[in-house]
């Protein structure tokens, strides 16, 4: 899947979805890799719109993987 065609979440959005602190998101964050890493959240620095700044965006697929017990 193309990196830009994925769904992306802000740090706060990822934290809310997992019901954890933003610090927890930061501790689990790793720079983007093509393959997921168990227990980690891949991110890219993206600008998602004209009126937004370039910031870390977290792969929603990785966030959802943390919701499922392993």
Q: Tell me the pLDDT tens digit for each residue of 1-17.
A: 555 578 999 999 999 99
Q: What is the pLDDT of residues 15-25, one digit of tens each?
A: 999 999 999 99
pLDDT at 31 over 70: yes
For 41: left if phi > 0, alpha if psi spans -120 to 50, otherwise beta; the answer is beta
pLDDT at position 3: 57
User: Positive or negative, the Cα torsion across 52, 53, 59, 60?
Assistant: negative
């Amino acid at each position: 899947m193309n990196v830009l065609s994925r769904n992306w979440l802000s740090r706060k959005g990822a934290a809310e979805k997992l019901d954890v602190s933003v610090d927890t998101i930061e501790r689990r964050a790793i720079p983007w890799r093509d393959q997921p890493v168990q227990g980690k959240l891949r991110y890219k620095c993206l600008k998602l719109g004209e009126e937004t700044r370039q910031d870390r965006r977290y792969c929603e697929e990785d966030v959802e993987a943390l919701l499922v017990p392993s």
